[in-house]
């Protein structure tokens, strides 16, 4: 199942518009967050694109296996049209705005407690319901 999902998403990522990939990631990762939280999620994607440890396109970063949990569900859709429209607006704005994460390449929801990988990263700041690391 996971391998099939990865193949579906990899083919989507290769053919997709970066703005659409970014909007989908904002929607699934930070739907319900205020503007600053949604922009922060977008900037983590940009920071990864700029970092040699990750792929160099927005879609490849978003759909890289096991990076964003929502991408592992091949049938997941954006059912809340209003929230998706807002996420799309935030994707456009993210391309025009400064990095409010101070270079973060990782984040997790506050409700998760301490992430297993976080010991290797410096916490930067809390924005909305997420803590950001680099």
Alpha helices in 16-116 (DSSP H): 18-30, 35-50, 58-62, 81-96
CA atoms of 25 and 88, how far apart (whole Å): 10
- Complete domains list, the chain, with CATH: 2-100 (1.10.10.2520)
Residue ranges in the chain whose pLDDT is less than 70: 1-15, 74
Per the CB < 8 A criterion, the answer to whether 42 and 22 are in contact is yes
The per-residue pLDDT for 6 is: 45
The per-residue pLDDT for 120 is: 87
């Amino acid at each position: 199942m996971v391998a099939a999902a990865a193949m579906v998403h990899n083919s989507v990522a290769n053919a997709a518009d970066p703005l659409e990939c970014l909007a989908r990631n904002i929607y699934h990762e930070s739907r319900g967050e205020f503007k600053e939280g949604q922009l922060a999620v977008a900037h983590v994607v940009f920071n990864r694109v700029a970092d040699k440890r990750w792929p160099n396109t927005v879609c490849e970063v978003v759909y890289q296996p096991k990076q964003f949990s929502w991408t592992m569900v091949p049938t997941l859709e954006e059912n809340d049209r209003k929230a998706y429209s807002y996420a799309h607006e935030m994707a456009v704005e993210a391309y025009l705005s400064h990095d409010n994460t101070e270079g973060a390449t990782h984040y997790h929801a506050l409700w998760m407690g301490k992430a297993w990988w976080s010991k290797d990263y410096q916490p930067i700041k809390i924005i909305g319901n997420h803590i950001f690391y680099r």
